[in-house]
Amino acid sequence: MDDTSRRWLKHVTPNPLIATATAARQKAFAPFSHFQVGAALEAPDGTLIPGCNVESASYGLTICAERSAIFRGVCDGYRCFKRVAVVTDTDTPTPPCGACRQLLWEFAPDAEVLLANLKGDVVKYTVRELIPGAFDAKQLG
């Protein structure tokens, strides 16, 4: 991603969505990578849905924070989301992996994405910017 064209926000006013993702990050289970990630989705009614990454010794069974939040939201009856926040403890905010981008496309194609780190840096994208030319049900015929 080319961050030179992105709008960086430094030390923004406390944001409930980012705060929810930060709290979820504290619950992450990452004994192998030690890379804790928290995510939070905002449903159309304003409900905030947290998620965290959960690792497995069989790495293929690991789930990312973003997908954890999506699955939890779906279980709670939601089928679309309007915003997402992802929080990591990195020098620069970290974007979702490809699998998470795909599911965000399917459940939140118009969502605003806030990527944040623990230093207070925030970068804004949209899901459409993160996954141009996305695959979805339209391609299934």
3-state helix/strand/coil string of 25-78: HCCCECCCCCCCEEEEEECCCCCEEEEECECCCCHHHCECHHHHHHHHHHHCCC
- Predicted TM-score (pTM) of this structure: 0.90
| 21: enclosing H helix or E strand | helix 16-25
Q: How far apart are the first and last CA of the chain?
A: 31
pLDDT digits (tens, 9 = 90+) for 12-40: 557 999 999 999 999 999 999 999 999 99
C-alpha 70/C-alpha 66 separation (Å) is 6
CATH code of the domain occupying 3-128: 3.40.140.10
pLDDT digits (tens, 9 = 90+) for 49-83: 999 999 999 999 999 999 999 999 999 999 999 99
34: left (phi over 0), alpha (psi -120 to 50) or beta: left
Catalytic residues: 66
Burial pattern 79-107, b for ≥16 Cβ within 10 A else e, equals eebebbbbbbeeeebbbbeeebbbbbbbb
